[in-house]
Structure 1
């Protein structure tokens, strides 16, 4: 999204990371290329500079994993409010030699001393206000997993050292990028939070305001941090000097004198950092119309929920339905899968998650019986019973179900930020990787002198503590995520790789894009650009205004009601920002990104066709 500026004149004006140069002329706006077709490898991300970093690695002989880490590190520069080494994520990898899909769970963890009432204000005995108070606090900061994920991926499957993989991003941070309207808007929307924290205000609010569109933003502190990590390795981050700096800022956030936000201290220690490990997980897998759809297993709910929804939709033969019938089925399947997500999915290190049954075709077929082809169910719908004993029904014969009588005590507070990237190389290896710091701007707490923001991922735990809730707060636990990096294979070879940001709407964005592409005859770019709606087992469907305008009236006849995703012109008005690859006959790769959402994404190939 931001055009890289290779050099600035010596007479450039420099102010706390923001610079411009009249002598060099005004910076040029970024060239947005949301679609590319070619050979030799491909990268798609939300940002042009990040995509260029990944393509550069591929052109120098690196593989898909090397390119993924380089792209992700560059996103830490140009998308610092969505991702970075202060956060976590989930990494899905296809090995062309073995035809095997592997995954890394790089989710943040709760500190060992985090109490079950961490979200309760001791002064009032009531929960903290979610935003901005709880989000903008040390309480919300989990033990970061992104850097460990990069190191693990490179050691297992990469060809570059961590230092070499970080070099393009370090150079980018030094040179700077041109601020676009999305970066400016995200900064403006977080101005009150950022101005509460001394190092955050210094770095991201130079002169007291958001960097202006068209100016150049530099982050030499992050450049130095990347280079230090390349030389010293993970130990300085996970328990060493940098780790000590992170724990200090979490335990004593440096508030500005003028803020009225409490910015509560958190619980992270260097001991927590030393104990952190990324986890290799067996991916989820479902069979859909002869294709193998691989996703991320818990602690993320992405693979189980997308997979279950596909299994629910499989008996409905979406290709044969009218557009309103298809969308009705998609919305109803999403609600059913989200009911089961809430009931059963959490960190498998702490709760027993029936992953195999949730993703079984039998359970999906049984849940599919709950869909009335002519009428939307009253929401919230109750969870099913993934017990291995399933009943089937005739097509279109919906069984009677009562709405869940319990009011939902767990409102959806997942941040709509995050970022996704996909890479492929000339050998056929593929990566689908989603990384995040949760809310746009994370906790708002920047590590002084280090150039990166810490996450607020612990707010992904359920806000109201319930001993029966699989996503309740527990020390050392990974909060449930919705991240859904996905790879689809046909006869053991890649067909699609995709994923998206968007909090819990990630799941529905990936599901809707998959069914658009596989069932509705859309090309991948068309499937990405299509208007979006997200039904997460709520009374009203959250939707983009374009979806409401185009389909709202037809779907109202089924009983669906709609709520706009956000105010017009706000970043919340859009749902997701999907990036994807499609592997075409003859060896070509189609790289696709958003044409407009988040200012448009950037897709590129090594050798354009």
Structure 2
């Protein structure tokens, strides 16, 4: 139990259902959908659509999504890859011939075809109980009538002002009066509201064909992009087999490549050989082991992960016990490793949604346009901000993540799901670009090894190894910082808090749910 004399929040407890998101309006929309007879999938898509309006820096219908889903509380985990692909004309040679040494972070060449709307439509048809018009109605309302900008959204919105001003249509919509909205301002997106109405009426065809698609493709071509109407019309998501490992009596499930989810599983496999539960959860030794396991796992992520439709990824070998033993042997409890390459990890803005309903359908849902406001390219008539996932591709033809026609890039956004003894026990996720595998592992080990409830586990101090430095949040104890320095780690304070997450824990014996939402964001968990 937390000390109520200190700032913080209690977990949310309920019997019927819980929704947890990074924005209050999104959480409320999901709860209202559940109260109206909808299920977890209806609520998740409704929440994602709302967040595409009220957290425009983080997500939207111009982005991608990944989903893990356990129907009726069973331990079988369904996985849906809703990530988009490179244009059919995109090749390494084309970019090299045009003088590119890497894919740009913004502009048309950073854009892959958005996969989110196709995923929403497919998942709603297969697992939802409400119509597309019903689940999109709250998002349409906020886009058309306005919403109040929340504090973390405003914090994130202010940084990309220069990038947004480079595109006249982005500036018109997202820099009203020439500046980013402040916390407490009211913002509207009438063009996006009209686009959502078209999708609500016509389904996926309303986005990938017709006037909406024409507007997006025309704008991309104006800016020199390779995208065609055929690229948009051909977009389809896929059901895929999740990847899993055992940790602390639980099965932990992630998306397979092209997703970075196996990075967290690699970390868990390595850490399973250490008795973390006997350590100080905020002490230097625990944090050091987490950092070193992460450095090894990220090295392998960048060596091996790509789109499995195009390249083989040795998933089974990477997740084997023997390989974990080999990695673990590289770690010195008292000294930071010096033989690993430094990995520069991209930051991103993302939304994660965790919902369990009365029938114990459990959904772990993540949706993103990648960097803050994605590519910065907006459809002038549709108001759709397009993602910049293409910037993750490499221009090294021999690399697993090299760009190629119709290929999906290596993806950072990763939903998580935990099962135990034949039942689902927790949909969970932690946002934050490259931080996400670290965040998943920190959350899980806080709960499994240290007995924290979901809210305590999300509240706890965080560290992250990035570009040769250990980023340590301000609440990491001073003695832990000094202990990390003695082990050879260079410490810095991150400009942003590290990530943000949600989780809903199912207690089958008591028949209760416990939900949590990260204080590093504006959101909340609510139950009914």
Residue 377 (structure 1) shift = 1.1
Q: Cα deviations across residues 282-318 of structure 1 (Å, max 9, x unaligned)?
A: 011111121111111111011x111111111111121
> 1:420–1:500: 8 Å Cα contact kept in structure 2?
yes
Alignment of 1:506-525 (within 5 A): 506-525=436-455
Quick one: which of 374, 379, 388 aligns to 1:442? 374
Ranges in structure 1 where 5+ consecutive residues have no aligned partner: 1-31, 254-264, 381-403, 567-572
Quick one: which of 155, 174, 197 aligns to 2:125? 155
Q: Provide the residue aligned with 1:586 in structure 2.
A: 510
Q: SS at the partner of 2:418?
A: strand
Q: Cα deviations across residues 213-242 of structure 1 (Å, max 9, x unaligned)?
A: 322112222222112111111113223221
Q: Provide the residue aligned with 2:3 in structure 1.
A: none
| Higher helix proportion | 2
Residue 211 (structure 1) shift = 2.0
Q: Provide the residue aligned with 2:263 in structure 1.
A: 305
Which consecutive segments of 4 or more residues in structure 1 shift more than 4 A? 117-121
Rounded to whole Å, the distance in 2 between the matches of 1:237 and 1:164 is 17
> 1:376–1:558: 8 Å Cα contact kept in structure 2?
yes
Q: Provide the residue aligned with 1:37 in structure 2.
A: 13
> 1:505–1:576: 8 Å Cα contact kept in structure 2?
yes
CA distance 1:535–1:187, change in 2 (3 Å) = closer
Residue 181 (structure 1) shift = 3.0
Q: Provide the residue aligned with 2:66 in structure 1.
A: 90
Q: Provide the residue aligned with 2:425 in structure 1.
A: 495
CA distance 1:216–1:497, change in 2 (3 Å) = same
Query: Would you say 1:541 and 2:470 are equivalent positions?
Result: yes
Rounded to whole Å, the distance in 2 between the matches of 1:117 and 1:526 is 50
Q: Provide the residue aligned with 1:558 in structure 2.
A: 487
Alignment of 1:137-286 (within 5 A): 137-253=107-223, 265-286=224-245
> 1:33–1:604: 8 Å Cα contact kept in structure 2?
no
Rounded to whole Å, the distance in 1 between the matches of 2:222 and 2:339 is 43
Bigger RCO of structures 1 and 2 (CA < 8 A, at least 6 apart): 2
> 2:11–2:454: 8 Å Cα contact kept in structure 1?
no
CA distance 1:535–1:215, change in 2 (3 Å) = closer
Q: Cα deviations across residues 474-511 of structure 1 (Å, max 9, x unaligned)?
A: 12111101222111112122222211221111111111
Residue range with higher mean Cα deviation, 61-70 or 582-591: 582-591
> 1:194–1:204: 8 Å Cα contact kept in structure 2?
yes
Residue 126 (structure 1) shift = 5.7
Query: Would you say 1:350 and 2:310 are equivalent positions?
Result: yes
> 1:544–1:564: 8 Å Cα contact kept in structure 2?
yes
Q: Cα deviations across residues 168-223 of structure 1 (Å, max 9, x unaligned)?
A: 21122223211233333333211112122122111111122222332211222222
Q: Cα deviations across residues 92-111 of structure 1 (Å, max 9, x unaligned)?
A: 10112653101111112111
Rounded to whole Å, the distance in 1 between the matches of 2:461 and 2:277 is 19
CA distance 1:603–1:119, change in 2 (3 Å) = farther
Of the two, which has the highest radius of gyration? Answer: 1
Q: SS at the partner of 2:364?
A: strand
Query: Would you say 1:57 and 2:33 are equivalent positions?
Result: yes
CA distance 1:314–1:126, change in 2 (3 Å) = same
> 2:393–2:410: 8 Å Cα contact kept in structure 1?
yes
Q: Cα deviations across residues 436-490 of structure 1 (Å, max 9, x unaligned)?
A: 101011111221132331111101113xx22332111112111101222111112
Residue 531 (structure 1) shift = 1.7
TM-score when scaled to structure 2? 0.93
CA distance 1:119–1:556, change in 2 (3 Å) = farther
Q: Give RMSD over aligned pairs.
A: 2.0
Q: Cα deviations across residues 3-56 of structure 1 (Å, max 9, x unaligned)?
A: xxxxxxxxxxxxxxxxxxxxxxxxxxxxx9774211211111110000111001
Q: Provide the residue aligned with 1:383 in structure 2.
A: none
> 1:34–1:593: 8 Å Cα contact kept in structure 2?
no
Residue 551 (structure 1) shift = 2.1
Query: Would you say 1:109 and 2:85 are equivalent positions?
Result: yes
